[in-house]
Amino acid sequence: MFDALMRPIIDPPLNALGRRLAAIGIAADAVTVAGAGFGLAAAALISARRYDLGLLFLAASRVLDGLDGAIARASSPTDRGAYLDIVSDFAFYAAIPLGFAFAEPTRDALPAAALLASFTLTGTSFLAFATLAAKRGLETTAQGRKSFFYSFGVMEGTETIAFLSAMTIWPAGFPVLAWTMVALCILTVVQRTVLAIRTFR
């Protein structure tokens, strides 16, 4: 929901840094892999109840996730890079709830499972819409210049990062935050489904 509003704020510094890193030969794919590594490390730290370090690694992962696109735009975006980016994103989204489930299985396992199921639905609706939009030649730059169509929703990247960060700051509130995310993810799937029905007639 807030991704389009955040782009004008975060894109200029990321693009400036991306141009500098591309100029010295830093590859976007390497940054993508590093971001995924930081994300998985964040999940491992959360599972060990090191929530403070988990938050630090989570933040580093998301910064690198934004930076890889900036580097790609400053050099030469590739389909391989787009693939690595989206797979890394969903690996991150899956790993963090699992980290909380391992940390407090009695309290957090059920909401974590529900959250992962809702992520599956939002991911499916997102990728299905992008596939069909590409088939029809549809494009959008509302969330910045991307390799494929980014459909809108209440639960987008900005909201997801905010919720996952809040969970590491307030781990005891994980069930409340997770169930809230589940509801927003379901709403997002409904939104995309309505949009798909209207768009793909």
Chain segment 66-81, per-residue pLDDT in tens: 999 899 988 888 889 9
pLDDT on residue 147:
56
pLDDT on residue 146:
53
pTM of the predicted model over 0.75: yes
Judge whether 178 and 20 are in contact, CB under 8 Å: no
pLDDT on residue 100:
98
Neighbours of 131 (CB within 10 A): 11
**Which residue is it, tokens 């690198």?**
64
Q: How far apart are CA 72 and CA 78, in angstroms?
A: 8
**Quick one: tokens of 45?**
């730290």
| pLDDT tens for each residue of 126-148 | 888 888 888 887 766 555 455 55
DSSP secondary structure letter of residue 123: H
| pLDDT tens for each residue of 12-31 | 888 888 899 988 989 999 99
**What residues contact 147, with CB distance under 8 A and at least 6 apart?**
77, 79, 81, 82, 85
**Quick one: tokens of 5?**
């509003």
pLDDT on residue 110:
98
24, HSE (Cβ side, Cα atoms, 13 Å): 4
**Quick one: tokens of 198?**
């209207």
**Quick one: tokens of 79?**
């389909």
Judge whether 85 and 36 are in contact, CB under 8 Å: no
Q: How far apart are CA 186 and CA 119, in angstroms?
A: 9
pLDDT on residue 94:
95
User: Over the chain, what is the mean pLDDT?
Assistant: 89
Helix (H, G, I), strand (E, B) or coil at 48: coil
**Which residue is it, tokens 């100029």?**
23
**Quick one: tokens of 180?**
């809230």
Q: How far apart are CA 32 and CA 67, in angstroms?
A: 8
Which domains does the chain show, CATH number per domain? Answer: 3-199 (1.20.120.1760)
Low-confidence residues of the chain: pLDDT under 70: 1-6, 8, 139-152
